[in-house]
Structure 1
Amino acid sequence: MLWSALLAVYILWGSTYLFIHFMTEQMPPLYMASMRYIVAGTLLYSYARLTGMPQATPVEWRSAGIVGVMLLTISNGLLTLGIQYIPTGMAALLGGMLPVFLLSLNWFSFGRQRPSNAALMGLLLGVVGVFFLIKPDRLQPVGGAQANLIGSALVIAGNFSWAIGTLLTPRLTLPSGPLSSGIQMLVGGLVLLFISLCLEPVTPLSIFQAPPKALGSMLYLVIFGSIIGFSAYSWLARNAPPQLLSTYAFVNPVVAMLLGSLLAGELFSTQSLIGALIILAGVVLITVGKK
């Protein structure tokens, strides 16, 4: 179960960056992100209830809602906005900042637990690898230096919110797996929809105006990114140590860069390959160095 969940998060989430770009090419980003989570949350919640899972208590609804807002409304909303300014590969590479936030917050605030020396060395290698990856030869920001700054700041802020939500998850009273994920997506998606209606030129029925490419990409994100990938991540957040969980942020950029080079014309240079190899070395050290 552990390695199956890790594999789902490693591979499937690495592909979501590109499909977020496809989903929002011709549609408002926050609106499409909200639709993604409302649809996925409705399916997961309905499945959980139809298979006999008990109704969540008010405390469980509140806890799952808090996590949903941190992970989906804030973090994924900022990521979706950031991809409007920078290439998908660069957005994925900035995800390499997440382990820094996870291990630091768990060390100094949440868990008061110092990572092992091997895990710290793996973290350092991962950051060095991201440095190599984030500066490929021809991977340029969409709108120049200012767009690069805006997009990078949005993605990094989203990573910080994701780290807080991840570390809060095992400390809150949550319902069982699919029910918890469904509630998180419903609450996170509905809050995101409210923000979208306030900020973007949309109505609740604007989804019917979306082009086929946007709808197909949203369907992929609903099934593989949200239902399978997010459910696997939620299970890992409850059952895996932060050091091991954080390794996905080192693997996702490698997957995203490969897909970006194949499907979106983003160059995967020799320098990027070196960065990917350094990142994988960091993943190994963090994994074997977990307490």
Structure 2
Amino acid sequence: MQAISSSVSPTPNRVTLWSALVSVYILWGSTYLFIHFMTEQMPPLYMAAMRYIVAGGILYTYARLTGTPRATRIEWQSAGIVGVLLLTVSNGCLTLGIQYIPTGMAALLGGMLPVFLLTLNWVSFGRQRPTNLALAGLLVGLIGIFFLIKPDKLQGTRGVHANVLGSSLVIFGNFAWAIGTLLAPRVSLPSGTISSGIQMIIGGFVLLVISLVMEPVTPWSILVAPPKAIWSMFYLVIFGSIVGFSSYAWLARNAPPQLLSTYAFVNPVVAMLLGTFFAGEVFSSQSLIGAMIALAGVVLITLGRK
């Protein structure tokens, strides 16, 4: 992702490798449910802002205390741009979208991120034509999305308009995440941990400003948040933003890309199971068929990468 080195260790420990992979599978798959819990009784943008400000502050402080040099002004600006794309726009849209659609569906739509990465890298950033297998996966994935978000394929939402609105927010967030991911290697960023901290701090504060304008909150509304929202936020700070991201960063340096990309297939399954058992979300059989078609497209895209 955005602040990850491209160097690869030749012989990663197998136990460490699979521990990190399972961590990304479970922890990132669970974040959708905890975003739902965090925002049940609190404004979504405000709570997302608090999450990233706290997590970014912890990462930045840790980086400085362990000897990481200060970032330059250019590095602050570059990290800020990437942070706004990834956290303010992408995760802000995800947090809003979960207010309208089940968490499992949001995770499945998130699994379509490779579609946007493939397309943007083809038409803009890398000018690299995908393989025929990847193009077939793109078509299959889009067909799956159509069946997944078609209003009569989902139960338990607030209605047709809510389904379309929530899905559109999540899809647009994936688009912003793809832009931020492809932009990151092309700008000047500081070293990994401090870069992630800066991205979270700036992305969080921009999200806070938007929240103060759009939502009925003050900077101190966190003091009156219910315990469930607070504990969910700290779960996301520790296990989603710090442990989960650290595991992903380690995998990006040590694991084959094909193995790492499998998180896009597993996270939706974890999110759907947790949403069904703990949030009472109900999916029709036709929704699940659409989800399987969409994930089949992701698999083809991954297998078709050069």
**TM-score, scaled relative to structure 2:** 0.82
Query: Residue 56 of structure 2 corresponds to which residue in structure 1?
Result: 41
Contact kept? 2:156, 2:281, Cα under 8 Å: no
Distance of aligned partners of 1:198 and 1:137 in 2 relative to their CA distance in 1, 3 Å threshold = closer
Query: Residue 96 of structure 2 corresponds to which residue in structure 1?
Result: 81
Comparing 232-241 with 58-67, greater Cα deviation is found at 232-241
Distance of aligned partners of 1:90 and 1:287 in 2 relative to their CA distance in 1, 3 Å threshold = closer
Contact kept? 2:112, 2:141, Cα under 8 Å: no
**DSSP-derived class of the 2:269 partner:** helix
Unmatched 5+ residue regions in structure 2? 1-15
Distance of aligned partners of 1:64 and 1:235 in 2 relative to their CA distance in 1, 3 Å threshold = farther
Query: Residue 60 of structure 1 corresponds to which residue in structure 2?
Result: 75
Query: Residue 92 of structure 1 corresponds to which residue in structure 2?
Result: 107
**DSSP-derived class of the 2:99 partner:** coil
Query: Which of these residues, 161, 169, 179, is aligned with residue 154 of structure 1?
Result: 169
**DSSP-derived class of the 1:115 partner:** coil
Query: Which of these residues, 170, 178, 181, is aligned with residue 185 of structure 2?
Result: 170
2:272 matched to 1:257?
yes
Deviations 1:139-189 (A, max 9, x none): 425321121222122111111111100111111221111111111100100
Query: Residue 42 of structure 2 corresponds to which residue in structure 1?
Result: 27
Contact kept? 1:93, 1:134, Cα under 8 Å: no
Rounded to whole Å, the distance in 2 between the matches of 1:153 and 1:284 is 23
Query: Residue 101 of structure 1 corresponds to which residue in structure 2?
Result: 116
State the percentage of identical aligned residues. Answer: 78
Contact kept? 1:75, 1:157, Cα under 8 Å: yes
**DSSP-derived class of the 2:71 partner:** coil
Deviations 1:195-251 (A, max 9, x none): 111121111111110111101110111111111233455667789999877654443
Contact kept? 1:136, 1:269, Cα under 8 Å: no
Rounded to whole Å, the distance in 2 between the matches of 1:129 and 1:33 is 29
Comparing 107-116 with 28-37, greater Cα deviation is found at 107-116
**DSSP-derived class of the 2:68 partner:** coil
Rounded to whole Å, the distance in 1 between the matches of 2:47 and 2:58 is 17
Unmatched 5+ residue regions in structure 1? none
* Paired letter, 2:189: L
**Deviation of residue 3 (structure 1)?**
6.4
2:42 matched to 1:12?
no
Rounded to whole Å, the distance in 2 between the matches of 1:67 and 1:209 is 31
Rounded to whole Å, the distance in 1 between the matches of 2:150 and 2:273 is 15
Alignment coverage as a number of residue pairs? 291
> Within 5 Å, which residues of 2 pair with 1:177-196?
177-196=192-211
Contact kept? 2:30, 2:271, Cα under 8 Å: yes
Distance of aligned partners of 1:95 and 1:151 in 2 relative to their CA distance in 1, 3 Å threshold = same
